[in-house]
Amino acid sequence: MIVSPFTADAVVRSGIARVTLAGELDMDTSRRVRDAVASCLATRPTSLCLDLTGISFCDCAGLNTLLTARITALEAGADFLVEGLGTPVARLLSLIGADTVFAGRQTPTSAGSPHRGTETVTARRDTAAATATSRVRDLLT
Q: What is the Cα Rg of the chain in Å?
A: 15
Res. 126 pLDDT band, cuts 50 70 90: very low
For residue 8, how many other CB atoms are within 10 A of its CB? 21
What is the pLDDT averaged over residues 14-23?
A: 96
What is the pLDDT averaged over residues 55-81?
A: 94
* Nearest-angstrom CA–CA distance, 18 and 47: 8
Q: Which of 124, 101, 121, 122 is nearest to 113 (CA)?
A: 121
In terms of pLDDT, which residue wins out, 83 or 99?
Answer: 83
DSSP conformation class of 108: -
pLDDT of 111 > 50? The answer is no
Residue 56 dihedral angles phi and psi, to the nearest 5°: -100, -15
pLDDT for 128: 46
What confidence tens digit (pLDDT) does each residue in 37-62 have? 999 999 999 999 999 999 999 999 99
Res. 81 pLDDT band, cuts 50 70 90: very high
Least confident range of 9-13, 41-45, 58-62, 113-117: 113-117
> In the chain, what are the domains?
7-140 (3.30.750.24)
pLDDT of 116 > 70? The answer is no
